Amino acid sequence: MTVRSTAEPWAPVRGERAVMLTTYRRDGRSVATPVGYGIDGPTLYFMTDPGTGKVRRLRHTATVTLAASTLRGAVKGPAITGVASEITGAEADQGRRRITSTNRLAWFFLLRKARRAGWDWVVYAVRRDQHTLQTPHDQGQHDHVDGDDTSSSNTGTTDSQEIS
């Protein structure tokens, strides 16, 4: 189910420790990955290692869905559609601050590990579209969870729902 909201765009995920980020392969199959995030007004931020599949997939398909989840990937709420874009400079610094403010100790060690390895996290901003976007997932394509070698067909339909 994809949700559209006009008042509070991130209400379904606000306060959760992670979101299930779903990106799309060139063939339309979805790949879901839990990520830490931060929210600042109409923008949701997340960071990832620059060598991940998410980065490659987002270069060709910016449409994503997000749902409240646990850090282990158990989805806890409805999916929200948005558009992700890689950000740099002052906006990326603001996004990093929002993300790392949720669990400073864990992020301290993750950021330190990245710097020691000689790379920095890629920061993305996700913004809600004015209209509910149709994603490859909504069109009945296959689902895939990062780290899972199996794919399953999605035969259900997707409903759009307003949140007041």
Q: Is the pLDDT of residue 3 over 90?
A: no
Half-sphere exposure at residue 24, Cβ-oriented, CA atoms within 13 angstroms: 24
Total-model pTM: 0.72
pLDDT digits (tens, 9 = 90+) for 59-89: 999 999 999 999 889 999 999 999 999 999 9
Between CA 147 and CA 32 the distance in angstroms is: 9
Burial of 154 (0-12, 13-18, 19+ CB in 10 A): middle
Q: Note whether 12 and 80 are within 8 A (CB).
A: yes
Find out whether 23 and 64 touch, Cβ atoms under 8 Å. Answer: yes
Return the CATH number of the domain spanning residue range 2-141.
2.30.110.10
Whether 41 shows a pLDDT value over 50: the answer reads yes
Domain boundaries, the chain: 2-141
